[in-house]
């Protein structure tokens, strides 16, 4: 099934302006999005949990505050979806795993608190690859999510439910997490904007850890402006997160119209060759031409060690996962499968609680950290990581941003790669490096392939270079070929009936 590409959805920016201005109620906005969810969620399966009554209560509260003349915040009445590895007080947070099935956190993640303070209305928790380990959202213990562009195909992963919920019009905004491309890859597959911020720019407090030195929370939206709006809300220092940057967060929304005149853009040679589909390469080259037409200077650059990023990542990330997931022992929280001894209880709990991909990565990581192998594997991978970071720093002495494909191909068929872990891992070849170096990157829709599937191009920038990256993204968005997105976002007309 292919979704009707003529469908249009209002942007988060337009909704917030209309609700705050009193020309549209948060309740009417919510009802329109809930109606779309009711019509299509049975097919798409974007959600693990929804609570329409709680969302309606929240929308009514927003309307009452607007009527009282209060400033309810920059996301007034905007429906938003939260990935199911981000803690929500009193609402199940499962990481799409049997290990945490039914677990209810006693607190909200910092990003959830910030969204609520900005006036957003949470409508559900999104399906995902279990513990964020996957590139297709087929590893969920609760079943796969389908791509609204073509329901025979995956939406990407691990934030596939978040991406699908926005692409299908269930909400204009979703939060995902990105450890090696888990926001940007599904954004590319679903025709959305997806942002991985600078490491430490957005608090990880309340994000259930996969790879602690790699994970970042970021937005998935229809437009660059909406992504900027959400990033401005959720970024900033958090004393509860020891990895949170103490420096002031850049306000990206204020720089969307900066343009790219004189901007130096590097086209990464190593990500423009073998393994990248010809139609994807054509879109990246077309994006480069659009930047040149807007005044940028585009040149080919080399990042020779980027070829090692996949290997380094698949040692570092499983090693950190092995450490982080050791807490699921059947004692403190989550699933417990009783047995005669403590050791047997832990073994049975983990055997039944974790899926195959999670077990695979735990075993890889445990081996890499084991006595006698630590330096040969984990230590070497960290040294390679430092060399890759040095290459990026050297390139940024000569260019301001980098341009690459987001993914090697467009969305692939369901079950096409599930039995071949290496083929699945190769989907991350373009995205992993920016997680290893902790620098910002984002995917912007730019064109369609011959099957009508969206193609994403990736922009990367140096640490805290979000303002420049978003300015370039805004130029690409304005120049993108028609039909690149699932339904063209539109400006909301006050009091219109067709939300």
The reply to whether 312 falls in a domain is no
Could you tell me if residue 292 is left (phi over 0), alpha (psi between -120 and 50 degrees) or otherwise beta? alpha
Measure the CA–CA gap between 345 and 222, rounded to whole angstroms.
Answer: 46
303 vs 372, residue with greater confidence: 303
Beta bridge pairs of residue 441: 196, 460
The reply to whether 459 falls in a domain is yes
The reply to whether 463 falls in a domain is yes
Closest CA to 452 of 486, 424, 404: 486
Per-residue pLDDT band for 332 (boundaries 50, 70, 90) equals confident
Number of domains into which the chain is organized: 1
The reply to whether 428 falls in a domain is yes
Closest CA to 175 of 111, 252, 267: 111
pLDDT tens digits, residue range 351-371?
999 999 999 999 999 999 998
Longest CA–CA span in the chain (Å) reads 71
And the tokens for 256? 């969307």
The reply to whether 319 falls in a domain is no
- Kindly tell me the number of DSSP H helices and DSSP E strands found in the chain: 15, 13
The reply to whether 338 falls in a domain is no
CATH code at 157?
3.90.1300.10
Per-residue pLDDT band for 2 (boundaries 50, 70, 90) equals very low
Residues labelled as active-site residues: 83, 158, 182
pLDDT exceeds cutoff 70 at 6: no
Helix (H, G, I), strand (E, B) or coil at 157: coil
- Report yes or no: 472 and 2 within 8 Å, Cβ to Cβ: no
- Report yes or no: 59 and 80 within 8 Å, Cβ to Cβ: no
- Report yes or no: 369 and 357 within 8 Å, Cβ to Cβ: no
Beta bridge pairs of residue 10: 490
Residues spanned by the domain of 263: 9-307+383-490
Per-residue pLDDT band for 5 (boundaries 50, 70, 90) equals very low
And the tokens for 53? 């009554």
Q: What is the pLDDT of residue 419?
A: 80
Per-residue pLDDT band for 420 (boundaries 50, 70, 90) equals confident
Q: What is the pLDDT of residue 495?
A: 42
pLDDT tens digits, residue range 150-192?
999 999 999 999 999 999 999 999 999 999 999 999 999 999 9
The reply to whether 40 falls in a domain is yes
- Report yes or no: 445 and 193 within 8 Å, Cβ to Cβ: yes
pLDDT tens digits, residue range 57-79?
999 999 999 999 999 999 999 99
Beta bridge pairs of residue 369: none
The reply to whether 275 falls in a domain is yes
497 vs 45, residue with greater confidence: 45
């Amino acid at each position: 099934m292919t979704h009707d590409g003529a469908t249009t959805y209002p942007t988060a920016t337009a909704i917030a302006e209309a609700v705050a201005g009193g020309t549209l109620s948060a309740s009417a906005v919510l009802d329109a999005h809930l109606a779309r969810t009711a019509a299509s969620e049975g097919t798409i399966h974007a959600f693990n949990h929804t609570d329409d009554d709680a969302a309606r209560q929240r929308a009514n509260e927003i309307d009452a505050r607007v009527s009282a003349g209060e400033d309810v915040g920059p996301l007034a009445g905007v429906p938003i979806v939260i990935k199911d590895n981000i803690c929500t007080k009193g609402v199940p947070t499962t990481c799409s795993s049997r290990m945490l099935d039914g677990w209810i956190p006693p607190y909200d993640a910092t990003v959830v608190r910030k969204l609520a303070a900005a006036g957003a209305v949470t409508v559900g928790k999104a399906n995902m690859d279990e513990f964020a380990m996957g590139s297709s959202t087929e590893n969920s213990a609760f079943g796969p999510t389908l791509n609204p562009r073509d329901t025979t195909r995956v939406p990407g992963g691990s934030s596939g439910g978040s991406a699908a919920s926005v692409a299908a019009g269930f909400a204009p905004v979703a939060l995902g997490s990105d450890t090696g491309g888990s926001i940007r890859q599904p954004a590319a597959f679903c025709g959305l904007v997806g942002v991985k911020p600078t490491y430490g720019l957005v608090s990880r407090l309340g994000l259930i850890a996969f790879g602690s030195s790699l994970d970042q929370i970021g937005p998935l939206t229809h437009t660059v402006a909406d992504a900027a709006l959400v990033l401005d809300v959720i970024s900033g220092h958090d004393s509860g997160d020891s990895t949170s940057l103490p420096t002031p967060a850049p306000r990206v929304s204020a720089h969307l119209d900066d343009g790219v005149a004189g901007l130096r853009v590097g086209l990464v040679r190593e990500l423009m060759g073998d393994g990248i589909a010809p139609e994807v390469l054509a879109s990246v080259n077309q994006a480069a031409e659009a930047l040149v037409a807007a005044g940028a200077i585009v040149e080919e650059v080399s990042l020779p060690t980027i070829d090692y990023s996949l290997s380094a990542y698949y040692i570092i990330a499983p090693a950190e996962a092995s450490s982080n997931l050791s807490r699921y022992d059947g004692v403190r929280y989550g699933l417990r499968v009783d047995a005669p001894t403590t050791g047997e209880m832990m073994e049975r709990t983990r055997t039944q609680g974790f899926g195959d991909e999670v077990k695979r990565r735990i075993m890889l990581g445990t081996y890499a950290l084991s006595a006698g192998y630590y330096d040969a594997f984990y230590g070497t991978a960290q040294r390679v990581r430092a060399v890759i970071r040095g290459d990026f720093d050297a390139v940024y002495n000569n260019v301001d941003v980098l341009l690459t494909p987001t993914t090697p191909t467009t969305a692939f068929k369901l079950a096409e790669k599930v039995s071949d872990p290496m083929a699945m891992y190769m989907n991350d070849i373009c995205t992993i490096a920016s997680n290893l170096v902790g620098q910002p990157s984002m995917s912007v829709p730019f064109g369609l392939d011959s099957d009508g599937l969206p193609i994403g191009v990736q922009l990367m920038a140096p640490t805290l270079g979000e303002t420049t990256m978003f300015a370039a993204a805004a130029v690409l968005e304005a120049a993108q070929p028609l039909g690149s997105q699932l339904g063209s976002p539109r400006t909301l007309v006050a009091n219109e009936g067709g939300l």
